[in-house]
């Protein structure tokens, strides 16, 4: 796992956009993080996402979302801006199937009463098409999601870490609950197989949610 991505990808024409994103996030995190910290997170997040992106047109938009989420996680982990709700992190290898599906199901089920993230130990370029289709069939969209690398800040922020097929790439922190779910990789299945994965995840997610919040 890359706990602090190095800025080793050229920013090229996006550099001025990344500086603007940094300035905007500095306003969002006024009194929480220094401007230098925010800029470092923005440029590191861009570099991390650029490693798997063949088409970089939308990288600045994704970078902003990724950097802001990481900064929120860091602020929560350090007690500087706690979220006030349970934090759950789903981790698989590519963050293109299982972890994205589980995260989307939990978000849909709990409607903001649990903060949910997902990440991959070796993120793919894009989401698995069958995973997107299978989730759309039950009214849960993955259209705004994208594979994200696993970073130390999101692990530190989590109360519960669910791993699926990524071995020991996730660091262990005391006081957190860890579970490993034995779920098939959608990348190796046809659409019917991915539908079965969706239902297996739904059952596990419902059980997880019931242990974290009082269901209506």
For the annotated catalytic residues, the residue numbers are: 92, 166, 170
DSSP state of 149: B
**Cα 157 from chain centre:** 12
Q: Is-contact 183 203, C-beta < 8 A?
A: no
Tokens of 20: 């603007």
Q: How many residues does the chain have?
A: 216
CA dihedral 53, 59, 61, 66 (to 10 degrees): 60
Tokens of 60: 């600045």
User: Cα separation of 134 and 191, whole Å?
Assistant: 7
Coil, helix or strand for 56? coil
């Amino acid at each position: 796992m890359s706990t602090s991505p190095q800025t080793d990808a050229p920013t090229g024409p996006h550099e001025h956009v990344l500086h603007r994103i940094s300035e905007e996030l500095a306003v969002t995190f006024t009194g929480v993080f220094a401007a230098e910290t925010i800029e470092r997170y923005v440029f590191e997040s861009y570099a991390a996402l650029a490693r798997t992106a063949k088409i970089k047109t939308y990288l600045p938009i994704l970078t902003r979302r990724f950097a802001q989420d990481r900064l929120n996680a860091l602020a929560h982990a350090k007690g500087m801006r706690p979220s006030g709700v349970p934090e759950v992190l789903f981790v698989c290898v590519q963050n293109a199937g299982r972890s994205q599906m589980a995260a989307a199901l939990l978000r849909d089920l709990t409607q903001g009463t649990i903060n949910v993230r997902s990440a991959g130990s070796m993120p793919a370029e894009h989401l698995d098409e069958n995973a997107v289709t299978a989730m759309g069939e039950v009214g849960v969209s993955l259209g705004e999601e994208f594979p994200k690398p696993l970073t130390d800040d999101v692990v530190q922020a989590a109360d519960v870490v669910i791993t699926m097929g990524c071995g020991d790439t996730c660091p262990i922190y005391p006081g957190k609950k860890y579970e490993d779910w034995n779920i098939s990789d959608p990348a190796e299945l046809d659409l019917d197989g991915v539908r079965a994965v969706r239902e297996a995840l739904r059952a596990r997610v419902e059980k997880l949610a019931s242990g974290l919040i009082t269901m209506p």
